[in-house]
Amino acid sequence: MTNSPLVHLVDDDAAVRDALCVMFRARGFRVRGSCSAAACLDGLGRRPSGCLVADLRLPDMSGLALLARLRERGERLPVVIITASAGAPLAVEAMAAGASDLLEKPFDDEALLASVRRALAASRGDAAREAETRAILARFAALGETEREVLAGLAEGRPSPEIAASLGMELRAVELHRANIMAKANVATLVELVRMSAIAATAARAPTPSRRRSNPRGAAAA
């Protein structure tokens, strides 16, 4: 059990916190529950491992503020934000802040478990994360040019009327493209689409192994 993944769970609702702790332990995780961001930070210790699951609304600071505090401390712990009210703008803010995922309550156990496992895989850089990235890129490759333009707007958290105005399109056309994009990406919510877009964007910015090999040490100074 000592080698099991550790979940740092922060939620000020005792009933929710206790239920999630029981669920994680039943699935083989170790869990450390906290009722506030301060209690979580105090108990993390040096070089914490595992994954942090934090409610967006906490009594002392928001889940995103907690994430920012961790990054200020130099901690790269993956963070999953849970909230009672999510949407594309909040998802964009969470991804930009470095969250691994954003889940809207109520969610089922499997959705949260999948999110935590993805976050842990990403922190390890293992094959599961690489496979997910390849799958996302393959789905987005099926998008047409206009769908890509609409996706870019959705990934920024912009509402459909604003996207329509910027592209010179009818609102109905944008909504149709949005439905097609979500079908091709195989997602049910805009929040999930934003998460996938963030992963795809990160993959696009990452240098390939061949590029790294072709850039010898000191080349940047030439």
CATH number at residue 95: 3.40.50.2300
Q: In this structure, are 93 and 134 located in the same domain?
A: no
Residue 106: predicted pLDDT: 85
pTM assigned to the model:
0.74
Same domain membership, residue 54 and residue 17? yes
Burial class (CB in 10 A: 0-12, 13-18, 19+), 115: buried
Q: Check whether residue 189 and residue 111 sit in a common domain.
A: no
Question: Which of 83, 103, 124 is the C-terminal boundary of a domain?
Answer: 124
pLDDT digits (tens, 9 = 90+) for 121-139: 877 776 667 788 889 999 9
Secondary structure in 3-state letters for the chain: CCCCCEEEEECCCHHHHHHHHHHHHHCCCEEEEECCHHHHHHHHCCCCCCEEEEECCCCCCCHHHHHHHHHHCCCCCCEEEEECCCCHHHHHHHHHHCCCEEEECCCCHHHHHHHHHHHHHHHHCCHHHHHHHHHHHHHHHCCCHHHHHHHHHHHCCCCHHHHHHHHCCCHHHHHHHHHHHHHHHCCCCHHHHHHHHHHHHHHHHCCCHHHHHCCCCCHHHC
Tell me which residues of the chain have a pLDDT lower than 70: 1-2, 126-128, 206-222
- In this structure, the answer to whether residues 10 and 114 fall within a common structural domain is yes
| Shared domain check, 119 and 65 | yes
Could you say which of 124, 154, 179 is where a domain stops?
124
Q: Are 85 and 186 in the same domain?
A: no
pLDDT computed for residue 126 by the predictor? 65
Among 124, 152, 171, the domain-final residue is 124
